[in-house]
């Protein structure tokens, strides 16, 4: 079972972060998943790879009523985001899977039917969850060609997928960034190599700087909180990406 941490709670509106997987093999990149609850609806972000599926199911069952999970949000198509979907659909065949529109034809090669997916158009969309309207915010080419972040304006949390991601050792998987300078070596190479477009990266940074945010929560690494968010966004804006650094 993965460890989990409540990062926001107001009435029946809650965010949990699943963050530590003691069984993860050291050659696998660690992932964070987020469980968002509003009333009787629950959404899971970037549900993860097949290898972590049992750990995630057992953690979620501790947090919320398992029957209430009715939505999954996928920022993009990578295996660490998406490959557990076939397993999820076996146990929850009515699950609504939100996916960037351009990836549908590729995703159907290994999971679901066309009516499994709620396709997010390039310009983004609102995603209803209980009393909330979450927003899919375009993040194309940062890093995937069809890519979204998920914004919760009530909780002031942006789930950023691979943007802000850090490759951290298994025993360093603490929830929050505490010292940006110490964090920098864990994010710099990843962002230079895996983000391909400076133009689109800068547009995303400018878009996100306008949001009211308390947390910026990536799929890997550590969560940026408070003033650390602006520090990260300004660093990312200045960074030259699309570099072969490995
Ligand atoms: Fe990715
Ligand atoms: Fe990822």
Calculate how far, in angstroms, residue 162's C-alpha sits from the geometric centre of ligand 1.
6
Q: Is residue 245 domain-resident?
A: no
Question: How remote is the CA of residue 11 from the centroid of ligand 1, in Å?
Answer: 33
Residue 202 maps to a domain: yes
Q: How many domains does the chain have?
A: 1
Cα gap 169→140, rounded to integer Å: 28
Domain containing residue 78: CATH number? 3.60.15.10
Q: Which residues pair with 166 in a beta bridge?
A: none
User: For each of the chain's 246 residues, which pLDDT tens digit applies?
Assistant: 889 999 999 999 999 999 887 777 777 888 999 999 999 999 999 999 999 999 999 999 999 999 999 999 999 999 999 999 999 999 999 999 999 999 999 999 888 888 899 999 999 999 999 999 999 999 999 999 999 999 999 999 999 999 999 988 777 777 999 999 999 999 999 999 999 999 999 999 999 999 999 999 999 999 999 999 999 999 999 999 999 976
Give which of 156, 175, 217, 167 is closest to 191, Cα–Cα.
167
Judge contact between 133 and 151, C-beta under 8 A: no
Question: Is 49 inside any structural domain?
Answer: yes
Task: Give residue 204's domain range.
Answer: 3-238
Q: Is residue 13 part of a domain?
A: yes
* C-alpha 102 – ligand 2 centre gap (Å): 18
Model pLDDT, residue 27: 79
Predicted pLDDT at 22? 74
188 inside domain? yes
- Stated pTM of the model: 0.96
Ligand 1 centroid from CA 39, angstroms: 30
Structure tokens at 213: 């945010």
Q: Using CA of residue 63, residue 85, residue 190, residue 144, what is the dihedral sign? A: negative
Domain-located, residue 244? no
- Measured in angstroms, how far is the CA atom of residue 78 from the centroid of ligand 2? 7
**Is 246 part of a structural domain of the chain?**
no
pLDDT value of residue 246: 62
pLDDT at position 44 is: 98
| 60/69 Cα distance (integer angstroms) | 9
Residue 10 counted as domain residue: yes
Strands (E), the chain: 3-10, 13-20, 33-38, 41-45, 69-73, 96-100, 117-120, 125-129, 132-138, 148-152, 157-161, 215-218, 224-225
């Amino acid at each position: 079972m993965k460890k989990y941490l409540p990062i926001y709670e107001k009435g029946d509106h809650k965010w949990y972060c699943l963050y530590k997987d003691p069984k993860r093999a050291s050659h696998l990149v660690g992932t964070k998943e987020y469980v968002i609850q509003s009333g009787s609806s629950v959404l899971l972000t970037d549900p993860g790879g097949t290898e972590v599926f049992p750990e995630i199911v057992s953690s979620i069952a501790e947090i919320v009523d398992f029957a209430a999970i009715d939505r999954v949000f996928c920022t993009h198509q990578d295996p660490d985001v998406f490959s557990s979907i076939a397993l999820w659909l076996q146990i929850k065949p009515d699950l609504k899977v939100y996916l960037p529109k351009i990836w549908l034809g590729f995703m159907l090669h290994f999971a679901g039917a066309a009516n499994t997916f709620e396709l997010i158009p390039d310009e983004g969309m609102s995603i209803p969850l209980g009393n909330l309207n979450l927003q899919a915010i375009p993040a194309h080419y940062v890093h995937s060609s069809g890519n979204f972040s998920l914004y919760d304006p009530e909780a002031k949390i942006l789930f950023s997928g691979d943007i802000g991601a850090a490759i951290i050792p298994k025993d360093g998987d603490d929830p929050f960034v505490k010292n940006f300078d110490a964090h920098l070596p864990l994010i710099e190479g990843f962002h230079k190599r895996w983000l391909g477009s400076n133009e689109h990266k800068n547009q995303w940074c400018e878009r996100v700087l306008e949001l009211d945010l308390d947390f910026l929560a990536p799929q890997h690494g550590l969560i940026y909180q408070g003033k650390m968010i602006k520090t990260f966004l300004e660093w990312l804006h200045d960074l030259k990406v699309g570099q072969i650094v490995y």
